[in-house]
């Protein structure tokens, strides 16, 4: 394993991004957790917020 930093470039096709957005839209979410903290893991509302960001707001093309 090397400690050298190697450049990385994002390259996604429109079809790949469309598929990702479709899968995020069609996510089957579990029932809401029974507590108001993170003791049962990632809160459902937060997971849905992150998914919505990746689906609707993240600009993949700006990162390429």
Q: Report yes or no: 46 and 33 within 8 Å, Cβ to Cβ.
A: no
For 11-44, the pLDDT digits (tens) are 999 999 999 999 999 999 999 888 889 998 999 9
> How much is the pTM?
0.76
Distance between terminal CA atoms of the chain? Answer: 26
Q: How many CB atoms lie within 10 A of CB 33?
A: 15
Tell whether the model's pLDDT for residue 1 goes beyond 80.
no
Query: Residue 16: its pLDDT value, please?
Result: 96
Query: Residue 10: its pLDDT value, please?
Result: 87
Using 50, 70 and 90 to split pLDDT, how confident is the model at 4?
very high
């Amino acid at each position: 394993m090397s400690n050298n930093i190697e450049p990385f470039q994002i390259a996604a096709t429109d079809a790949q991004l469309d598929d990702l957005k479709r899968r995020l839209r069609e996510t089957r979410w579990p029932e809401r957790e029974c507590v108001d903290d993170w003791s049962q893991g990632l809160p459902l509302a937060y997971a849905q917020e992150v998914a919505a960001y990746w689906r609707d707001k993240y600009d993949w093309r700006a990162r390429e």
